[in-house]
Amino acid sequence: MTTVASRSESMLRYSTAAESKDQRDEIATEEPLEIRVEGHSIAVVMRTPGHDRELAAGFLLTENLIRTTTDIFEITQCDSAGRENVINVTLRNPHTFDPAKLTRHVFSSSSCGICSKATIEAVRQFFPPIHDGAILPAQTLIKFPSRLRAKQETFNRTGGLHACALFDLDGELQALREDVGRHNALDKLIGRAVLDDQLPLHGRVLFLSGRVSFEMMQKALAAGIPIVAAISAPTSLAVEFARESNQTLIGFVRGETMNIYAGASRIDVGRS
């Protein structure tokens, strides 16, 4: 089956300067993906099809159901009604799977991840604080928005996807994932690192196209990422979490400016 991240749809184009007319527009695809572990359904996420194995692996890691790629025996995708919208993860040690550790309800929308959490206590997964001496020059960071946008292929066609990118401290783009849900995009990015056995992602920078929520910071912590930056704003809980977990959090990276909310010692602003 060919993965389709976007598709053409008919629409009526209205303009005050011209006559309305029927046209076609490229729309981001959104479909459900059921994630199963050992045949047990644990979540349904609304996502953009593509990189589904990564999404499942990243989801399980950030939900604290696995810790490394060695915990996974196999990830298989099932064809359901002509669409590959079911994925099953088989564990190397099935007896370690405890559905009670899952903090989500079964359904999660593409717009929000934290709203599907069962309790406030369950939201605060236990991952150790970051101990990473990474230093990122501010002049390198301000180049990230343009580098991200240049690689957002599906966004450039649809204007409707979030993006998460992983950079090294020299500003080199290492990986990028897009999705209708920003937490899905991040799970895909982290899942790729899980499957490549690259965790923890010390000395890396996570750059987001949208706002930074508590859950995005927690997912970054699960992957060992010390620096999280975004074009948009952070939430108050994201800032609080970053300070508690010893992460660096930067928002509003636009033009020649940025706001450093936590972990400023990791950002070299060029002061003498």
Three-state secondary structure along 230-241? ECCCECHHHHHH
Q: Give yes or no for a contact between 258 and 236, defined as CB atoms under 8 angstroms apart.
A: no
pLDDT, tens digit, for every residue of 171-228? 999 999 999 999 999 999 999 999 999 999 999 999 999 999 999 999 999 999 999 9
- Give CB contacts under 8 A, 24+ apart, made by 263-272: 263/226, 263/227, 266/132, 266/134, 266/135, 266/136, 266/226, 266/227, 267/135, 267/136, 267/137, 267/138, 267/141, 267/227, 268/135, 268/136, 268/137, 268/138, 269/138, 270/137, 270/138, 270/139
pLDDT, tens digit, for every residue of 22-32? 988 888 889 99
pLDDT value at 271 more than 70 = no
Q: Give yes or no for a contact between 109 and 119, defined as CB atoms under 8 angstroms apart.
A: no
- Tell me which amino acid residue 271 is: R
What average pLDDT score do residues 90-113 get?
A: 69
Find the catalytic residue in 78, 112, 115, 164: 112
Helix axes 214-222, 52-62, angle to 10 degrees: 90
DSSP-derived secondary structure letter, 54: H
Domain ranges of the chain: 31-123, 136-268
Nearest to 40 by CA among 74, 81, 88, 104: 88
| Alpha helices (H) in the chain, listed in sequence order | 52-62, 120-123, 138-141, 144-151, 153-158, 182-195, 214-222, 236-244
- Let me know the angle formed at the C-alpha of 86 by 195 and 73, rounded to the nearest 5 degrees: 35
Please tell me the distance from the alpha carbon of residue 201 to that of residue 61, in angstroms, as a whole number.
Answer: 13
pLDDT score for 239: 96
Residue 112 is a catalytic residue: yes
CA 104 to centroid of chain Cα atoms? 16
Q: Give yes or no for a contact between 85 and 32, defined as CB atoms under 8 angstroms apart.
A: yes
What CATH class is the domain 136-268?
A: alpha beta
pLDDT, tens digit, for every residue of 45-73? 999 999 999 999 999 999 888 999 999 99
Q: Is the peptide bond before 200 cis (omega within 30 degrees of 0)?
A: yes
DSSP-derived secondary structure letter, 129: P
Q: Give yes or no for a contact between 166 and 189, defined as CB atoms under 8 angstroms apart.
A: yes
Which residue has 């987001």 as its token pair?
A: 208
Taken as a whole, the chain contains a residue count of 272
pLDDT, tens digit, for every residue of 117-144? 544 455 556 788 999 999 999 999 999 9
Identify the band that residue 109 occupies on the pLDDT scale cut at 50, 70 and 90.
low
Q: Give yes or no for a contact between 48 and 30, defined as CB atoms under 8 angstroms apart.
A: yes
Please tell me the distance from the alpha carbon of residue 53 to that of residue 74, in angstroms, as a whole number.
Answer: 10
What is the number of alpha carbons within 13 Å of residue 147 lying toward its C-beta?
A: 21
Nearest to 48 by CA among 204, 158, 192, 213: 158
pLDDT score for 4: 76
CA 112 to centroid of chain Cα atoms? 11
Identify the band that residue 82 occupies on the pLDDT scale cut at 50, 70 and 90.
low
β 173-179/107-108 pair status: unpaired
Q: What is the CATH code for 31-123?
A: 3.10.20.10
